Amino acid sequence: QKEVEQNSGPLSVPEGAIASLNCTYSDRVSQSFFWYRQYSGKSPELIMSIYSNGDKEDGRFTAQLNKASQYVSLLIRDSQPSDSATYLCAVWDTGRRALTFGSGTRLQVQP
């Protein structure tokens, strides 16, 4: 069974620091990767997508992909208390034509 693994956390960082969230996946042929943010009691919100090896930056967010190591990460610069949420890593399963999600990493940004 294809898996997406994330550390459940909580990951606690001080305000203004860089938060680093990591994700590994088991399906070597995966090509499309997504990060979602989910506030408590709310639905997932898409924040980043990445398809090629390397870095992709969008504002304070940087997604990093290393297909050889089957590793995806999300960096949040200048972390704010409003960034406190659960971050879900999702990998596109070509066979099922669906997203496979990790269980999420809970981030806490301390003021």
Partner 1 sequence: DAGVTQSPTHLIKTRGQQVTLRCSPKSGHDTVSWYQQALGQGPQFIFQYYEEEERQRGNFPDRFSGHQFPNYSSELNVNALLLGDSALYLCASSPGQGAYEQYFGPGTRLTVT
Residues that bind partner 1 (CB under 8 A): 4, 31-32, 34, 36, 42-46, 49, 51, 88, 90, 92, 94, 96-104
Task: Identify the CA nearest to 2 among candidates 78, 97, 87.
Answer: 97
* Closer to partner 1 by Cβ: residue 30 or 62: 30
Q: With respect to partner 1, which residue has the nearer C-beta, 9 or 75?
A: 9
Other Cβ atoms closer than 10 A to 19:
23
Closest contact distance (angstroms) between CB of 47 and partner 1 is 11
Q: Min. distance of Cβ 21 from partner 1 in angstroms? A: 14
Name the residue nearer to partner 1 (CB basis): 28 or 97: 97
Exposure letters 54-71 (e unless 16+ CB within 10 A, then b): eeeeeeebbbbbebeebe
Q: How far is CA 21 from CA 3, 29, 35, 49, 95, in A?
A: 17, 22, 10, 15, 27
CB of 16 to partner 1, least distance (A): 29
Phi/psi for 82 (5° steps) reads: -70, -10
Give me the least distance between CB of 17 and partner 1, in Å please: 25
When the beta carbons of 16 and 94 are compared against partner 1, the nearer one is 94
